[in-house]
Structure 1
Amino acid sequence: MNQEMVSTIAGLLGGLAVFIYGMNLMSEGLQKAAGEKMKKILSVLTKNPLVGMLAGALVTAVLQSSSATTVMVIGFVSAGLMTLPQAISVIFGANIGTTMTAQIIAFSIDDFIWPIVFIGFVLYFFPKKEQLKNIGQTIFAFGLLFVGISTMSSVMKPLAGSAVFVHLIEQVAHIPALGVLVGTLMTLVVQSSSATIAVLQNFASQPMADGVTSMLGLTGAIPILLGDNIGTTITALLASVGQSRKAKRTALAHCVFNITGTFIFIWFVPWYAKFIQFISPKGPEIQVISRQIANAHTCFNITNTLLWLPLIPLMVKIVMTILPESKKDLAEKPLYEPHYLDNNVLQQPEAAIRLATMEMTRITEYVSDMAEKAKQAFLHEDKDAMRQVDQLEDIVDILQDRVTGYLSSLCKTGSLTQNQSARVSGMIRAVSDIERVGDQYMSITNFAKLKSEKEYTFTEQAIKELQEGFEHVRNMLELTVKALHDADTQTARLVVHQQESVEDLERRLSKKHMERLNLGSCSPENTVAYTDVLHDLECIGEYCSDIAEMVLDEDKSQHKVERLQEL
């Protein structure tokens, strides 16, 4: 291998590396700049197919990767937050959104690349205001995209003079199936269709000896483009490994969408190329072919989506037939296993936060179940209820550890905004509070065991008072679950307000117990158990209030960010 070939390969790989780095950096910057708006976009993913498709396109435009969107959707499907038809519509939109990168690349801004990089650098590294830094990061990364493209373009120019290379290009250009295979393999290796399409646009922009005609031509580029669309599905397939059957079906739907579209379009490449040339800017081929490829990419995905959108039920039947239900799928996950957490989604903070919130809600529901069992255990000396509280306590401890680990891993990604970091910090404290509520109910159950062993008895009035305390706190816990699950600030305020009534209740019942002691109607031996259970109930109220405060703090942060963005 001669020096020129080594230099060409090194330049191509280096330019590709800069391009991919710039694209990932731009995705991170866009996510941070979009901030809380991503939460609103994600909230409409589960609506009707048309809205899901539009939301999928918008999310992908922010993430700069259809694979990233598909991986996120797979996580939602696996968690049960989305149905398969809903997920399919979002994937259709993701395939449209991913064409945005090729459209951006098609612009010729060679004279402005370095000023863009410099402006982005200044905004990225010097301002202290986070929103300005995020915008700067996006601009800086945008400039790096074109630095990578420019580098690849410069090292490709000598290839036009290589007879061997020109012969290989001619083979690909005249055998569409070979072009599809080349495009698929390129994307399988690079793991980014946007990157391989950028390479394709650069290759196609290199002139033949006449200085006007493209080495590849649009008819030669389209099959490779179709292959790129197939290759990008491998990321989703890898993300579905180890996931539920529903998640695998979602990844398979992505494959079916691109493969069927390719199979249809491959028969009409010459006519499709003429249509793209008709709707694209006119001029010398090497000057307009990059835009033509971008338009071919966009039109392919829009047309394929329009074909499949009314046929979503058929797509569901296809993937259900290929991957039917199995006994393993029907079996429920063990209670101690997280049902919502997905490490593949950690690079999309808002999606990961949403999944963690759902897992926290699930833990709170177990704690709510502990509340009823602990009450039965203490008031009625129910041995079965005591055993169930023990089991639920172990489950809550395990899940709390898993959620805390998941949120800690999210912090380590370095992709969180200041507001998101504050929210995650609040969630870590909240899940710890949830686990402490479980500890308090475990403490009450331990008193129930002691009460049973020593045959303590309470007066009828004391039992009624304790029942009142249990019911009051149980109602508060149920409201906390609702506030957490729905991000319901009104309910959260109600929980915080009820904390005062729990404190009043504890003081009132303690006073009544002391009055009974003075009258001799209550045994002194019961005092420790009675007052400690009241204290446990008061602590539970405090923890519920803390969790509700987390919901309110998150809402306040949201409004603060929105006001800053308006300014």
Structure 2
Amino acid sequence: MLRKALLPSIFILLAYGFWLSPDFKVISAGVALFLFGMLSLEEGFRAFSGGVLEKVLQRSTDRLWKSLGFGVLTTTLMQSSSLVSVITISFMSAGLLDLSAGIGIIFGANLGTTTGAWLVAAFGLKLKLSTYAMPMLVFGVILLFQRSSQLKGFGYILAGLGFLFLGIHYMKEGFETFKGNFDLAAYAVSGYPGLFLYAAIGTLATVVMQSSHATLILIITALSSNQISYENALALAIGANVGTTITAIIGAMGSNAQGRRLAGAHLIFNVSTGLVAILFITQLVQAVDGLGQWFGIADLDFTLKLALFHTLFNLLGVVMMLPLIQPMTRLLVRLIPEPQIDIERPRYMVPSAVQFPDTAVEAVRQETQRVFDNAQELIIRGLSMEPERVLGDQDLDAELTAQRHYTPVDIDDLYQRRIKSLFSAIIAFISEASFTWKEQQSGSLHWLRDANSNIVEAVKACKHLQKNMQLYLFSEEPAIRREYNQLRLQVVELLRQLDQLRQQPDENSVLSLDETRLTLLEWHREQHLRYYRLIRDAEISPEMGSSLINDAGYVATIKQSLLAAATTLFIQGGRTKHAVERDLALDDAELNEILTLAEQARRQL
């Protein structure tokens, strides 16, 4: 209800302001242009990065100091802590970053966002920015009409900078004329009441505009025109810092538990830093005065002092909160636990992940891994065994032979709850994402989609296998009992081999899988001859033999499908190496040809 009333309330307030003062229109237009410029900059960096930013993030966050540095550098370059926050939440949701690394990036982004205030305070108010804005807009718009995504990205960046500069120009001009008709400084409030009041105003302004940069530029231009007092400007800057957490909170609404924990850390950091800054405002102002003299900032240059204050209290917040990262992480994990639900839901494929190609591919890979894990457990239980024993170091043949009872499992129910829900979500996610990306990411999604289809095929084959297994596994006929135990052994031995490959991959993994596939084809051919001999020797009935032949086919399908999925999921190396290894892997026709040649060679001998 409150959210529905917010937008009309903003429109009414703006309309009243436009009616009250024509100069307010100029200021509002400046803010609108500035915000549109920031949106254009974010779009430009998304189009231009093409996954590069994500790769750099992966390699630059293995240490806390690297995470801090990454947050500072990227926010300084892009002048958008919002974009950095969204990317960080997406990577955490995809399982590529842990919570500590994400918190480090957010801390760094808070420091990086202070550079915008320095640039505007030092240069933006002393130059006629509209002179630079016009050429940027012209060249930027021309580039936007080009087909190349890189050129379009440059176009968005140039147009974004142009709108930023134009917005600052109009805000500055608006306040210059506004002060002649209406003096905001007359409403200044001193002391702690004023600090908390203006901090709340700064927070509200940033929540409405969803940009602390825009709020800071507005504060600096108002301060330069003497529309607000220096003390109230400091409080507004503190409030802007608190209000900027709204972007992370909104970005985390569609995220998983990790994303919500990061938004919580962002809120804790900014609110704590803001409270400390207000409580120790006198000491911080004295520190700003002392550092200002050391840097050569004039006593009455309050705009530069505001930029220095903004940097100083954010730096204080980082120093204060860094030792608390691990306790904060543990607290957030307790407060925001992983949801316990009966039906599997995606953990990594959050809405924000689809915006970044490499992040989306990794999210799909992680979800496919979960589908494989669930299918592995389902198949093992469908064969009336325990996963921990199959994947351990027990003698599987002895385990199967010693088993004296069959534990039925409702494979249909488990499939619906544990696999189909995830599989459907993966297909929907890939369908949404795959049409807009470069060939590399689309190819990876293609392989992952096929891997999911193979896993589902394996589960369906296990369901068909279960029917006759329940009938014959503990039959009084030793031959049929032995043969069904051998079918089970074929499946669980492969699952153990794949689990070992997953835990300790090596450079010969693809050759190992090819060898397994070749052995499977040979086994499948030999089984038919074996079953015919058993029928001929009257060890099993023809009805039992036909069931074995069908069920051997289901076992072959399970093994082939699992091998195909494992080739995509478990082979060691990067994405490019995976593609090379897939090219080297033998297809079914080549394997059959090798097997035929081997049989011909044996006959000649």
**Shared fold per TM-score greater than 0.5:** yes
Give the match for residue 434 of structure 1.
455
1:400 alignment partner, one of 402, 423, 434: 423
Give the match for residue 190 of structure 1.
209
2:51 alignment partner, one of 36, 39, 45: 36
Give the match for residue 254 of structure 1.
266
**Closer, same or farther in 2 for the Cα pair 1:290/1:420, shift >3 Å?**
farther
Q: Indicate conservation of the 8 Å contact 1:53/1:92, yes or no.
A: yes
Give the match for residue 344 of structure 2.
336
**Closer, same or farther in 2 for the Cα pair 1:370/1:60, shift >3 Å?**
farther
The answer to whether residue 176 in structure 2 is matched with residue 157 in structure 1 is yes
> C-alpha separation between the residues in 2 aligned to 1:86 and 1:555?
24
> C-alpha separation between the residues in 2 aligned to 1:123 and 1:489?
45
Give the match for residue 593 of structure 2.
none
The answer to whether residue 286 in structure 2 is matched with residue 271 in structure 1 is yes
Residue type matched to 1:362 in 2? R
Give the match for residue 115 of structure 1.
135
> C-alpha separation between the residues in 1 aligned to 2:561 and 2:114?
48
Q: Indicate conservation of the 8 Å contact 1:57/1:97, yes or no.
A: yes
The answer to whether residue 157 in structure 2 is matched with residue 143 in structure 1 is no
> C-alpha separation between the residues in 1 aligned to 2:333 and 2:565?
41
Q: Percent identity?
A: 22
Q: Indicate conservation of the 8 Å contact 1:45/1:86, yes or no.
A: no
> C-alpha separation between the residues in 1 aligned to 2:255 and 2:17?
47
Query: SS where residue 344 of structure 2 aligns?
Result: coil
The answer to whether residue 104 in structure 2 is matched with residue 54 in structure 1 is no
| Residues 24-50 of structure 1: CA deviation (Å, up to 9, x unaligned) | 332233234333334434435774433
Give the match for residue 227 of structure 1.
239
Structure 1 segment 402-481 matched on structure 2, within 5 A = 402-410=425-433, 419-449=440-470, 451=472, 458-459=479-480, 462-463=483-484, 465-475=486-496, 477-478=498-499
How many angstroms does 1:304 deviate by? 2.0
> C-alpha separation between the residues in 1 aligned to 2:375 and 2:355?
30
Q: Indicate conservation of the 8 Å contact 1:225/1:297, yes or no.
A: yes
Residue type matched to 1:469 in 2? Q
The answer to whether residue 387 in structure 2 is matched with residue 369 in structure 1 is no
Q: Indicate conservation of the 8 Å contact 1:219/1:273, yes or no.
A: no
Residue type matched to 1:20 in 2? L
Give the match for residue 565 of structure 1.
none
> C-alpha separation between the residues in 2 aligned to 1:262 and 1:2?
29
Give the match for residue 526 of structure 1.
544
Structure 1 range deviating more: 16-25 or 73-82: 73-82
Give the match for residue 211 of structure 1.
none
Q: Indicate conservation of the 8 Å contact 2:79/2:113, yes or no.
A: yes
Query: SS where residue 110 of structure 2 aligns?
Result: helix
> C-alpha separation between the residues in 1 aligned to 2:134 and 2:333?
54
> C-alpha separation between the residues in 2 aligned to 1:273 and 1:110?
31
Query: SS where residue 423 of structure 2 aligns?
Result: helix
Q: Indicate conservation of the 8 Å contact 1:479/1:495, yes or no.
A: no
| Residues 393-417 of structure 1: CA deviation (Å, up to 9, x unaligned) | 54211121233334445569x6x55
> C-alpha separation between the residues in 2 aligned to 1:405 and 1:501?
36
Q: Indicate conservation of the 8 Å contact 1:188/1:234, yes or no.
A: yes
How many angstroms does 1:364 deviate by? 0.9
How many angstroms does 1:431 deviate by? 2.8
> C-alpha separation between the residues in 1 aligned to 2:508 and 2:303?
53
Size of the aligned set, in residue pairs, is: 540
Instruction: Give the TM-score taking structure 1 as reference length.
Output: 0.77
Give the match for residue 113 of structure 2.
98
Q: Indicate conservation of the 8 Å contact 1:489/1:555, yes or no.
A: no
Residue type matched to 2:222 in 1? F
> C-alpha separation between the residues in 2 aligned to 1:203 and 1:502?
76
The answer to whether residue 106 in structure 2 is matched with residue 88 in structure 1 is no
Structure 1 range deviating more: 254-263 or 380-389: 380-389
Query: SS where residue 376 of structure 1 aligns?
Result: coil
How many angstroms does 1:429 deviate by? 3.7
Give the match for residue 563 of structure 1.
none
> C-alpha separation between the residues in 1 aligned to 2:287 and 2:186?
24
| Residues 363-409 of structure 1: CA deviation (Å, up to 9, x unaligned) | 21111112322333899796424336742454211121233334445
| Residues 74-118 of structure 1: CA deviation (Å, up to 9, x unaligned) | 677788876655543333223223335445656545433232233
> C-alpha separation between the residues in 1 aligned to 2:89 and 2:433?
18
> C-alpha separation between the residues in 2 aligned to 1:45 and 1:81?
12
| Residues 432-462 of structure 1: CA deviation (Å, up to 9, x unaligned) | 3333332222232244346579999754763
Give the match for residue 302 of structure 1.
315
Give the match for residue 34 of structure 2.
19
How many angstroms does 1:314 deviate by? 5.7
> C-alpha separation between the residues in 2 aligned to 1:191 and 1:17?
12
Q: Indicate conservation of the 8 Å contact 1:476/1:544, yes or no.
A: no
Residue type matched to 2:161 in 1? F
**Closer, same or farther in 2 for the Cα pair 1:372/1:249, shift >3 Å?**
closer
How many angstroms does 1:525 deviate by? 1.9
> C-alpha separation between the residues in 2 aligned to 1:295 and 1:497?
66
Query: SS where residue 334 of structure 1 aligns?
Result: coil
Unaligned runs of 5+ residues in structure 1 are 208-213, 561-567
Give the match for residue 503 of structure 1.
521
Q: Indicate conservation of the 8 Å contact 1:22/1:144, yes or no.
A: yes
The answer to whether residue 325 in structure 2 is matched with residue 312 in structure 1 is yes
Unaligned runs of 5+ residues in structure 2 are 1-15, 386-399, 581-605
Instruction: Give the TM-score taking structure 2 as reference length.
Output: 0.73
Query: SS where residue 383 of structure 2 aligns?
Result: helix
How many angstroms does 1:225 deviate by? 1.0
| Residues 302-324 of structure 1: CA deviation (Å, up to 9, x unaligned) | 3321232134356568xx4xx89
CA RMSD between the two structures? 4.5
| Residues 323-375 of structure 1: CA deviation (Å, up to 9, x unaligned) | 8957x959844352334443355545544543443222122111111232233
> C-alpha separation between the residues in 2 aligned to 1:334 and 1:410?
27
